[in-house]
Amino acid sequence: TPRGAPPPPHEPVEVMSMSMLSSRLNAMPSPLRLSRSAKEATVARRGAPQVVAMAKKDKRKAARKAEKKAEMKTMTSKSKGGNDEPEKPKAPSAPKPYESTSAVMQSLTICGSYKEKTGEKLLDGEILVQEAAERLWNAPFVCASHDASDVFNYGNKAALELWGLSWDDFVGMPSTKSASDEDAIQSERRELLDKAAASGVIKDYSGVRQASDGRRFRVTGATVWTITDREGNKTGQAVRFDTFAWLGENGEETEMTVADGGELVEKSSGAGDGDATADAAPSASDIAAAAEAVEEAAAKVRNLKEGDGLTNADPEVQAAVSELLAKKSALAELEERAAV
């Protein structure tokens, strides 16, 4: 087209078409905006389920964690033998008999008086004052005491087991109940206590006593001593022995001894005896000599009472009676061994 010449007829139409197209394009949403909006809408649509899924997953995870924690707590509780309930405080155990103040004081009195009257220790070794009560309670010998009114005020573990009584039943019981109520036995027992009161102590005593169930037993090698106060007044008496024998209805005897911890056990034949002849059966001459010794001792007692006019309260009679009892015990032992 020449310079300055009017445009061809079709150019205005083309320009108009472009203008119209431009207007329409401007009026329409941008393809970029459409893609972004669609993308955001898609993300929004896709993101909502994902958020919900994550929340559910976290909830399940927390639930599993709580279940696992509860399971571990249950297993721990079972391993300890308990349950989920808080442990109840344990009730304090009842004090043992020897732990009471009165028992402790009496234990010390018994130990001190034994040393005073015999010159020997009742308990072996060096012990503290606070240990004396427990040591005496579990001692390998029978030990009991009564007050000035002949009422028991102490008995150790072996004593309670021997008489078959509890601490509450034994303490407070008249000591006369420790033997049969036969006149001869009670008279012999009274003479023994009177002699111990006069001389202070008797050793190697042998006599018959009776348990709470009626069974009789013969005490051997017992020491009986009197307990006195600082002024020398009698406040009670005590006994100690570690061997005895149950007496059967048919004359049989079961020799017993006291083991560590105060347990009564049957004495083994010849246990701890290094002399084999000690268990040999005695001869007839041995038994006859022992019987003659008993007769001589009995005659001595009768002579003191009938010839000299003495009584059981006199020291001479008490000494003679003690000698008689010892010889009777020796004779009984020989006769027992001969019968085996």
Q: pLDDT digit string (tens) for 145-199?
A: 999 999 999 999 999 999 999 999 999 999 999 998 888 889 988 998 899 889 9
Lowest-confidence region among 40-44, 200-204, 292-296:
40-44
Contact 216, 247 (CB under 8 A): yes
pLDDT tens digits along 24-46: 655 555 554 445 555 555 545 55
Most confident region among 47-51, 147-151, 332-336 by mean pLDDT = 147-151
Antiparallel, parallel or unpaired: β 152-155 and 142-147: antiparallel
Q: Is 60 exceeded by the pLDDT of residue 47?
A: no
* β partners of residue 225: 201, 238
| pLDDT-above-90 percentage for the chain | 39
Higher-pLDDT residue of 4 and 68 is 68
Distance in angstroms (rounded) separating the CA atoms of residues 143 and 130: 18
The segment with the largest mean pLDDT, out of 51-55, 234-238, 278-282, 293-297, is 234-238
pLDDT above 90 (res 223): yes
Lowest mean pLDDT among 42-56, 218-232, 325-339: 42-56
pTM: 0.55
The DSSP annotation for 272-284 comes to T---GGGGSPPPH
- Average per-residue pLDDT in the chain? 80
Average of pLDDT values for 109-114? 96
State the burial class of residue 323 (Cβ atoms within 10 Å of its Cβ: 0-12, 13-18, 19+): middle
- pLDDT tens-digit readout, 306-321: 888 888 878 787 777 7
CB atoms within 10 A of CB 296: 12
**Helix locations, the chain, DSSP H:** 10-27, 31-79, 101-118, 129-137, 157-163, 167-170, 183-199, 284-302, 315-339
Q: State the Cα angle at 122 between 118 and 124, rounded to 5°.
A: 125
**239 - beta bridge partners?**
144, 224
* Lowest-pLDDT range of 23-37, 44-58, 124-138: 23-37
Residue, of 273 and 163, whose pLDDT is higher: 163
Return the H-helix or E-strand segment holding 95.
none
- Residues 151 and 173: their CA atoms lie apart, in Å, by 6
Residues 253-262: what's their mean pLDDT?
94
What is the arithmetic mean of pLDDT over 129-146? 94
Distance CA 292, CA 162 (A): 34
pLDDT-derived band at 322, boundaries 50, 70, 90? confident
Cβ atoms of 235 and 148 within 8 Å: the answer is yes
Q: Evaluate if residue 14 carries a pLDDT over 50.
A: no
Cα–Cα nearest to 171, from 83, 103, 238, 112: 103
Query: Rounded mean pLDDT of 130-135?
Result: 90
Token pair listed for 152:
């028991």
**Residue 157 amino acid letter:** K
- Mean pLDDT confidence for 219-239: 94
| Mean pLDDT of the 95-108 span | 92
**Does residue 8 have a pLDDT over 50?**
yes
Indicate whether 141 pLDDT > 90. yes
Residue 263 pLDDT: 94
* pLDDT band with cut points at 50, 70 and 90 for residue 54: low
Q: Averaged over 323-340, what is the pLDDT?
A: 79
